[in-house]
Structure 1
Amino acid sequence: MRRREFAVLIGPSLLVMLGLLVFPLIRTVQWSFQQVSYGSPGVFVGLSNYTQALSDPRFGRAVFFTLLLTGIVTALILLVGYLVAVGVNGLGRLRPYVLGSMLVAYVLPGVVGAVSFSWLFDSNFGGVLNLVIERLTGQEFLWFTDTWPNRVMIIAHTVWHLLPFSVLMILAGLQGVPKELREAATIDGASAWKMHLYVIIPTMRGIVGFVCLITIMDVLRTFDSLIPLSPQADAIGNESIMFYVFDNAFRDGSQRLGLGSAVNVLSIVIILICLFPFIRDLLKEAKAKA
């Protein structure tokens, strides 16, 4: 009876996963070996799509930019997120209000938040931050057409968008650290810096790994935010892998679904390589607690 109830409860979820994850993945792998156009069956071309993608300098630039963005954003998310979480943890009654205001940036749709964020740097819409930076530095930055100023803007927006989630997770981890450990470290004469470095952070290792895992996954699939933030992404070398797929498979009547599928498969491989250390650590920790 229990098995039947379990099957009834888990069945709908399995059907949804098969329909939305497994079957599309199988079709993507199949198309990656074919030349596919809309409304017509694919023609097998072997590894031609993979060869074309790997030999395309534009794809190489997209991979470089995506990995660069992922590394910088993840490091900033961990550092800034931890510092903000420590500060929020000591706010007392104001904590819910501060967290609620921060979560607005996270719950906004990506493209909506990116458009609003881009207005801070666009002189056509006031460009408050752009004006302040120019007044302080005396230089005019072309945020939407120069490579590195545009990268700085994209990194700033990505951190702003993902930071609330990391703060929320790290804050939960901070509140879960036993008081006995802190008291013991204080009795042993540990400074605040050493207490965080050698007591609190090691205790929160699982939370930190989880935040890294989610952040890397989110940044590696960066796409819609680049539409308002980097309208010339391809020309200035700030095109993400997902944007490269969209541009080749769908934009301007392109029908290279086979090439797009091959890049998607390569993207999955890159994502698995980036996530492997964190997944391995999380599995080890789960086995140790079991």
Structure 2
Amino acid sequence: MKRTMRPILKNYLTAFAFLAPFLAVYLWFWIYPIIKGFLTSLTTGSLGAPKKFVGLDNYRYMMDDDKFWSSLWNTLYFILISTPSIVLLGLGMALLVNMKLRGTTWLRTAYFMPYMLSVSVIGSIWVFILQSRTGLIAETMNSFGKTMGFSWFGSWGMGWLSILIATLWWTVGFNMILFLAGLQEIPEDLYEAADIDGANRWAQFRFITMPSLKGVTVLIVILQTINSFKLFGQTWLITKGGPGTSTTPLVHYIYQIAFRQWDAGYASAVSFVLFLIIAIISLGQYKLLMSKK
């Protein structure tokens, strides 16, 4: 029995030796910050000042904090409008590129290039384009003797529309690449057999393409949901969270608590709640989408 266990134990030790560097980095940069953040959320005091243990007081205060609920709703609203838009647009672009028509190589490059830019560059580009008086759209309309009779950043609806447009332009190329990889993994034999059986394009898309892209679609939906929960740069650079707080997402609010009000304990409490929400929703999405046949 001992002789049988020695090779198994040796394999486990060898595997652990190879995994140890990754596990050390993972524990230090991922698990430790989560634990540290939770412990900080149980305290009060400014950044850099001595902390005082207050238990769950920060979480109790959060339940009555209108700004927290407003920023959480803003975040959920952005997820509802951005996730379906980016998934559908990414799929449409991937289908177009996968048709292998003339010029699709250039299109694939053009679609993906914005994703290589930083959020600060994206924000600056779209502020330049959408500014009500000196922006690219306004100046173009002025050259034709027209005036732009509204402000992209002056209302709740237009503010979110400008953020959505900037986000779509920035991130949809990455999702297109993921969908394109999934499309290229589908065997051509399936489509040839469907043609022989008389299936039209819509039937092939419904019964071959979409079921084959199920895993990729689940991945994209989960990644997009997580990224939408972390929305910050676009709102900070484009609308400044306004008008008022109508486009202030949760991460934006956490930044204000931590670096404007210098309340590390409450900021950590909101951050930990955000972490739990992301984990629960991502797990629920995975279970729901993977259970559908």
Q: TM-score, normalised by structure 1?
A: 0.88
Is 1:275 the counterpart of 2:282 in the alignment? yes
CA RMSD of aligned residues (A): 2.6
Q: 2:156 aligned with 1:147, yes or no?
A: yes
Kindly indicate whether residue 267 of structure 2 is the aligned counterpart of residue 260 of structure 1: yes
1:141-189 Cα distance to aligned partner (Å, 9 max, x none):
2212311101100011111111011100111111111212212222232
The answer on 1:72 being equivalent to 2:87 is no
Assess if the C-alpha contact under 8 Å between 1:146 and 1:236 holds in 2: no
TM-fit CA distance, 1:34: 1.1
Alignment-mate amino acid for residue 197 of structure 1: R
Q: For 2:203, which of 170, 194, 198 is the aligned residue?
A: 194
Structure 2 residue 50 is the aligned partner of structure 1 residue 41: yes
**Cα displacement (A) at 1:139:** 5.6
Which secondary structure state, in structure 2, belongs to the residue aligned with residue 233 of structure 1? Answer: coil
Pick from 28, 38, 63: which aligns with 1:29?
Answer: 38
**How many angstroms does 1:67 deviate by?**
0.8
Q: 2:262, 2:241 → 1: CA distance? A: 22
**What is the match of residue 227 of structure 2?**
218
Structure 2 counterparts to residues 53-68 of structure 1, below 5 A: 53-68=62-77
Q: Deviations over 1:12-32 (max 9, x none)?
A: 211111111111111111111
Between 1:212-221 and 1:49-58, the stretch displaced more is 49-58
What is the CA–CA distance in structure 2 between the aligned matches of 1:70 and 1:236, rounded to whole Å?
17
Decide whether the 8 Å contact of 2:68 with 2:250 is kept in 1. Answer: yes
Q: Per the alignment, in what secondary structure is the counterpart of residue 18 of structure 1?
A: helix
1:62-90 alpha-carbon deviations (Å, 9 max, x no partner):
11111111121110111111111111111
Q: 1:236 to 1:29 in 2, by over 3 A?
A: closer
Q: Secondary structure at the match of 2:130?
A: coil
Output the CA distance in 1 between the equivalents of 2:136 and 2:87: 29
Structure 1 residues 93, 12: closer, same or farther in 2, change over 3 A?
A: farther
Letter in 1 for 2:274: S
1:178 equivalent in alignment to 2:195: no
Q: Which runs of 5+ in 2 are unaligned?
A: 1-9
Q: Distance in 2 between matches of 1:186 and 1:129?
A: 50
Q: Give 1:228's aligned residue.
A: 237
Contact 1:122–1:130 (CA<8 Å) still a contact in 2?
Answer: no
The structure with the largest alpha-carbon Rg is 2
- 1:163 alignment counterpart: 172
User: How many angstroms does 1:274 deviate by?
Assistant: 2.0
The amino acid across from 1:189 in the alignment is G
1:71-119 deviation line (CA, Å, top 9, x unaligned):
2111011111111111111135644432222222111111211211221
Contact 1:120 1:126 in 2 (8 A): yes
Q: Tell me the secondary structure at the aligned position of residue 37 of structure 1.
A: coil
Residue identity over aligned pairs, in percent, reads 25
- Confirm or deny that 1:10 pairs with 2:19: yes
Partner of 1:19: 28
**What amino acid sits opposite 1:264 in the alignment?**
S
Partner of 1:238: 247
Residue equivalent to 1:288: none
Contact 1:82 1:167 in 2 (8 A): yes
Distance 1:78 1:55, change over 3 A: same
Distance 1:241 1:247 in 2: 10
Q: Secondary structure at the match of 1:189?
A: coil
Number of positions where the alignment pairs a residue of Structure 1 with one of Structure 2: 284
AA matched with 1:266? V
Code of the residue aligned with 1:246 in structure 2: it is Y
Q: In structure 2, do the counterparts of structure 1 residues 248 and 136 end up closer, same or farther at CA, with 3 Å as the change threshold?
A: farther
In structure 1, what residue type is equivalent to 2:284? P
Letter in 2 for 1:279: Y
Select which of 110, 117, 130 maps to 2:126.
Answer: 117
Shift of 1:280: 2.4
Quickly say closer, same or farther: Cα 1:136–1:65, change in 2 above 3 A: farther
Counterpart contact for 1:117–1:157, Cα < 8 Å: yes
1:154 and 1:229 in contact (8 A); partners too: yes
Query: Which of 50-59 and 4-13 deviates more?
Result: 4-13
Amino acid at match of 2:79: T
Q: CA contact under 8 A between 1:111 and 1:227: conserved in structure 2?
A: no
